[in-house]
Structure formats: C-alpha cells, structure tokens
A and B are shown apart, each in its own frame.
Chain A
Amino acid sequence: QKEVEQDPGPLSVPEGAIVSLNCTYSNSAFQYFMWYRQYSRKGPELLMYTYSSGNKEDGRFTAQVDKSSKYISLFIRDSQPSDSATYLCAMSAIETRGSRLTFGEGTQLTVNP
C-alpha cells in the first residue's frame, strides 16, 4: 500500500465550479498536512498548511484533515482558469531533526473559461 494516495486525474471543470481534491494516507504518524500547487516545470508552491485534524480556510481555498479516516481534502471555490495546475498533497511526521515530506502523485486540474 502506498504511503500517500492521490487520484492523478486529469480533472476538468468549468470556470466558477467548486473543486474537490483528496488524498488518503496510511502512516498514522503524519501530523502536518500541506497542499502545494505546481505549474509545469516549476517548483511546488505552498497553498495551505494544517496541523492535525480540522479545517483551515484561506480565501477561496479550504483544507480539511480527518485523521480518524486518514483523509485530507482541498476545496477551491469559484475556480478560475489561473487555478489550472497540478495540486500536490504532502505530509510529514514529527521528527527530532528535519521532517521529510511525503508527496502524493498530484492531481492535474484544468479550469475551462
């Protein structure tokens, strides 16, 4: 079983739609959960960062973490063509020194005008 699973898509939605992106994981030690956006041949850009379970909202983006189900989500409201990118979930455990991130495969999203 993969440590982090993410549907690679591709996902295509019309402008203005609500987008739901999800990851599941198997390692119960993960405590920190992140969503990154990656444009083609660029570095990942941090969108949302959450610790443990709960919701976090930032503008049009909402991140949810359900540790009991080992399931995290990113919702994008009022999606725009500029949101077209690959979205990566990433997570890390508490470590004594340095915390490696474990990434999902990434979901490729296209928002059509």
Chain B
Amino acid sequence: EPEVTQTPSHQVTQMGQEVILRCVPISNHLYFYWYRQILGQKVEFLVSFYNNEISEKSEIFDDQFSVERPDGSNFTLKIRSTKLEDSAMYFCASSRGQGRGYTFGSGTRLTVV
C-alpha cells in the first residue's frame, strides 16, 4: 500500500536554528499538507499546498515557516528560527482530491532545546 514517507523520524535542534523536515507524498496525489501535534494536544493544521503554491495556511504558519516542493517527489517544511514551543510531532499528509481521505506519514518528532 502506498505510503507517505517522512524523514528524519526524530530531530533535536537548538533554539534559533533552522530545521527542514522532509516528506515524500504518495506519487499520484495532488494535495499536500503539514500538520503538527504538540504532546497531549490535538492535531492542528498548518498549511495546504496545491499546484506549486500555498492554498491555505493557519494562524500558526507565520513568517518563520515555509514550504517547498523542490522536485517532483519531495515536499519540505522549513522552520527558520526554531522556538521552544515549536517542539511537536510534525505530520505530512497527501490526498488525491479535495475533501477526500488523507494519508498521513509517521511524523517527525521535533525537539527544540
């Protein structure tokens, strides 16, 4: 069964450093997303991406965040200057169409120290 692949599975970074989280969505999917889940809290939407541009972003997705699809297979989330409160699980997801079921990756656990 096709999977969404995320790397790394766990990343520890110092406050103020830049991090890039990587995702390989399912190949025939057209919509790509990033969500995050702070420990013990609900899964929260960050950003959706379609046709090489951001479709929608939440209030969490401020100027410190950016997304990119540098080639035909990868989808990345960059956090420019990490804060302690950025510590969370970050999930990449993809879907074939709007409002259809999404497939999530296993997540990257980001720890900012």
Residues on A close to B: CB < 8 A? 31-32, 34, 36, 41-46, 49, 51, 88, 90, 92-95, 97-106
Interface 1/0s, chain B 37-59, versus A by CB < 8 A? 00001111100111100011010
B70 within 8 A of A: no
Residues on B close to A: CB < 8 A? 4, 6, 31, 33, 35, 41-45, 48-51, 55-56, 58, 89, 91, 98-107, 109
- Quick one: given A41-B89, A44-B91, are A99 and B105 in contact (CB under 8 Å)? no
- Quick one: given A99-B98, A100-B45, are A45 and B107 in contact (CB under 8 Å)? no
Q: Is B42 a contact of A105 with CB atoms below 8 Å?
A: yes
Q: How far is the CB of A51 from chain B (nearest CB, A)?
A: 8
Q: Is A95 a contact of B43 with CB atoms below 8 Å?
A: no
Assembled-state Cα–Cα distance A95/B33 (Å): 14
Contact of B104 among A32, A41, A43, A99 (CB under 8 A): A43
Q: How far is the CB of A78 from chain B (nearest CB, A)?
A: 24
- Quick one: given A98-B55, A100-B56, A105-B42, are A43 and B105 in contact (CB under 8 Å)? yes
